[in-house]
Structure 1
Amino acid sequence: MPAPLIAVSAERSEQRSAFGPRDSTLQVLNYADAVVSAGGRPAILPATETVPSDLLEGFDGLLLTGGGDLSPEMYGQEPDDSVYGVSVFRDRFETALVAEAQQRGLPILAICRGLQLINVLRGGTLIQNLEGHWQTRPSHEPDHEIAVDAGSRLAEVIGGTVMAVNSYHHQAAATLGQGLRVTARSGEVVEAFEDPENDLIAVQWHPEHLFSTSADNHALFDDLVARASAHKERKLANV
């Protein structure tokens, strides 16, 4: 059986080209490399202005990636001066991705912006600017430890209740969205949540920069690919 196919969301931003500035798909390869390292097949999905129907047909899992901020209008607020990198097209595209993934029962791993998107789509809100959570050391080095809930899927994945993570975010979950369970914190900051009913794990840090140096962070991608493989097998069994 072929390895599971993982849809990877991507940033949409203006980039220089031979034709002048053009909206482009931009994604660091760490996400795809992490999926490959875990035995999956990644496919990057550009955030097109028109969202195709059956966008996730043939996919076995979804990786929601980091990037610029969500439009605060999505959670009923006006943007402050710290908000950057907003793309209404990406917001719309990834909203459709999440809805279809949940309708199809696809496993989801949501990273940084991905966690924030899930929270907002469930009716939660965000802290628009959070000081002291953007590390200055290289991204493959951890910044701090987080406390993981012993009864969580995350604790099962890493085999423990303490995890070393990096930190590259200036926003965080404020009011928690419906159906979500906080599974890790750093002080008062939500570092992870999950929703077993929708096969969802979301983390606020960037494990794709740590997967090659940290077994715990690699395990997140191993788990996504394992969950995607199980989904693929169930789907084939029901054909």
Structure 2
Amino acid sequence: MERPLIAMSAALEVLGTAFGDRDCTKLGADYTNAVYAAGGQPVIMPVSPAPVSGILSRMDGLVLTGGGDLDPSLYGEEPDKAVYGIRKDRDAFETALYQEAIALGMPILAICRGLQLVNVLRGGTLLQQIEDEQSHWQENPPTNMSHAITVASGSSLAATFGNAGEAKVNSYHHQAVKDLGAGLQVTAVCGDVIEAVEAADADLVGVQWHPEHLASTNDQQAGLFTQFVQRAAEFRTTV
């Protein structure tokens, strides 16, 4: 059986090269390794200044990955001094990917920045700086857990986690969902911080932590990718 093709967004960052500082496509191998281990074939989508219609026509699923902050103008605000890594070109490219995936009914897994992008594109806003950032930006390695989350019963996330009401996750974010976007349901929290969402009108799961760093050693986190790839395989049979 052929592996479903999983489109994966990537950061565009200025990196030192033999030709000087240049914009370069950058995506940690933990992302692609997690998708491949789950049975998918990762396809990295470099930022394009003018994404063409149909860019996902041969794909079966979309992963919106983590990275720098979104441009606050997307949700009508000026940037706080803590905001970093804004790339309007990436914002625009991933917006096009998201919109096409939604139009196709394609499964979407949104991670960290990806969850925040989905929320904003659905009319939500972000808390630009969490007051207690220390508890959400861990200093130990990303393969270690940072804090517990409470998982909503009856959610897709709960089913993936074996209907556990609580789970441990890592944490590397200084921003969080503030006002929830249209059609989204909160499926996990850590105190007042929204840690996961799902869409009532789309095949979409978004998580605020980084499961790609945990998938090789934790069955719950690996399950996020396994379930997503399985849905992508099912989607492939319907188009």
Measured against the shorter chain, the TM-score band is over 0.9
Matched residue, 1:173: 177
- Give CA deviations for 1:135-171 in whole Å, capped at 9, x if unaligned: 0111001001100001111001111221110000000
Letter aligned with residue 210 of structure 2: H
- Check conservation: 2:183, 2:200, Cα contact below 8 A: no
Letter aligned with residue 231 of structure 1: F
C-alpha distance in 1, partners of 2:36/2:166? 26
- Give CA deviations for 1:97-144 in whole Å, capped at 9, x if unaligned: 000000011100000000000000000000001122100111001001
From 133, 137, 142, the counterpart of 2:140: 137
Shift of 1:52: 2.1
Q: Structure 1 residue 198 and structure 2 residue 202: aligned?
A: yes
C-alpha distance in 2, partners of 1:49/1:188? 37
Shift of 1:10: 0.2
Q: Structure 1 residue 151 and structure 2 residue 154: aligned?
A: yes
From 228, 232, 235, the counterpart of 1:231: 235
From 165, 186, 204, the counterpart of 1:161: 165
- Give CA deviations for 1:192-224 in whole Å, capped at 9, x if unaligned: 000142100000000000001111000000011
Provide TM-score, normalisation by structure 2: 0.97
C-alpha distance in 2, partners of 1:148/1:154? 7
Letter aligned with residue 184 of structure 1: A
Matched residue, 1:117: 117
C-alpha distance in 2, partners of 1:205/1:40? 21
Provide TM-score, normalisation by structure 1: 0.97
Q: Structure 1 residue 26 and structure 2 residue 14: aligned?
A: no
C-alpha distance in 2, partners of 1:46/1:204? 22
Shift of 1:53: 2.1
C-alpha distance in 1, partners of 2:138/2:174? 10
Letter aligned with residue 203 of structure 1: V
Letter aligned with residue 202 of structure 2: N
- Give CA deviations for 1:42-79 in whole Å, capped at 9, x if unaligned: 01000111212211011000001000000000000000
From 221, 226, 229, the counterpart of 2:225: 221
Matched residue, 1:99: 99
Any stretches of 5+ residues in structure 2 without a counterpart? none
Q: The residue matched to 1:146 in structure 2 has which SS?
A: strand
Aligned-pair identity in percent equals 52
C-alpha distance in 2, partners of 1:179/1:24? 35
Any stretches of 5+ residues in structure 1 without a counterpart? none
Matched residue, 1:9: 9
C-alpha distance in 1, partners of 2:82/2:116? 16
Matched residue, 2:62: 62
C-alpha distance in 2, partners of 1:57/1:17? 33
Q: The residue matched to 2:205 in structure 1 has which SS?
A: strand
The 4+ residue runs of structure 1 with deviation greater than 4 A are none
C-alpha distance in 2, partners of 1:181/1:50? 32
Q: The residue matched to 2:62 in structure 1 has which SS?
A: strand
RMSD: 0.7
Letter aligned with residue 29 of structure 2: L
Letter aligned with residue 153 of structure 1: S
